[in-house]
Amino acid sequence: MREEVLRRIRARDWAPGAAIPTEEALAGEFGVARATVNRALRELAEEGVLERRRKAGTRVALHPVRKATLDIPVTRLEIEGRGQRYGYRLLAEDRDEPPPAIASRLGLAKGAALLHLTALHLADGRPVLLEDRWLNPEVLGRAAPDFHAVSANEWLLTHVPYTTGDIGFSAANASAAEARLLEVAEGAALFVIDRTTWEGERPITCVRLAHAPGYRMQTMV
C-alpha cells in the first residue's frame, strides 16, 4: 500500500497540500488492517512525504523535506569500524573559565570553571581528529576518570549517554596550531562538528571536533 500511496501522490491524484482519505477508508479500500495503514502513513510522514496533524488529519506535504538519519558513534568504534587501528592522545587537561561564547551556550554563570580537554584521535598512527572539549566537572562524580586512558568522547557516551543538545556541521580552514597537530597544511579544509549537550537541565559538555581532510560523513536518504 506504501507504493500505491506514493503512486497517487506522484500522479497528483492526491495533490500537494490536499487531505488524503482516513485510515479507516484506506484500510477498507486496500483490505488491510487499520494498524497496517497507520504504520505506512506514519513512515511516510517520518520521511516528510505526508504531514499529520492531530485535528486536520493527514495531508500530502506541500514542500517535501527529505530527512536523513545520522549515526553519531564513539570515535574509537568509528575508526575501528573502518578496519583501522585506533589511537588516542590527551594533549592538555586544565580547569579554566570557558570563553564567553561557550559559557553562554551552556547557560553557565560568569566565573564558573570547567574542565578543558584537548585530545588527538589517531587512525593507524596518523592524527585524524582534534577534540577541543569543555566539560562540566559535576558529571564526573566521585570516581573521576583518567582521561589519559579513555577519551572523554567514549567516557561520556558510556557514562552519561542520555543527553540532549544540538549539533552543527561546518567546514573550516585549519589554523596554524590545528595544522601542526593534525599534520596537514595550514588552511587545509577541516570538517568540523560542534556539539553542546545537556542532561535534563544540567549542562554537560561543549565540544569542537575537527576532522582532518579525507573525512566523510555518510548516510542513506
| Contact residues for a copy of itself, defined by CB under 8 A | 6, 9-10, 16, 48-49, 63-74, 77, 157-158, 160-162, 164-173, 187-192, 195, 197, 211, 213, 215-221
CB 136, min distance to a copy of itself, A: 16
CA–CA distance, 49 with 41 (Å, rounded to integer): 9
CA–CA distance, 130 with 209 (Å, rounded to integer): 6
Other CB atoms within 10 Å distance of the CB of residue 166: 10
Asked if residues 156 and 130 have their Cβ atoms less than 8 Å apart, the reply is no
Asked if residues 89 and 130 have their Cβ atoms less than 8 Å apart, the reply is no
What residues does 120 pair with on adjacent strands?
Answer: 89, 130
CB 210, min distance to a copy of itself, A: 10
Q: Which residue is it, cell 536518504?
A: 221
Q: Which is nearer to a copy of itself, 100 or 168 (CB)?
A: 168
Q: Which is nearer to a copy of itself, 91 or 217 (CB)?
A: 217
Q: Which is nearer to a copy of itself, 42 or 126 (CB)?
A: 42
CB 71, min distance to a copy of itself, A: 5
34-46 vs 23-30: helix axis angle to the nearest 10?
A: 120
CA–CA distance, 122 with 88 (Å, rounded to integer): 6
Q: Which residue is it, cell 597544511?
A: 185
Q: Which is nearer to a copy of itself, 47 or 93 (CB)?
A: 47
CB 104, min distance to a copy of itself, A: 17
CB 46, min distance to a copy of itself, A: 9
CB 47, min distance to a copy of itself, A: 8
Q: Which is nearer to a copy of itself, 81 or 100 (CB)?
A: 81
**Nearest alpha carbon to residue 206 among 123, 129, 116, 125:** 116
Q: Which is nearer to a copy of itself, 54 or 95 (CB)?
A: 54
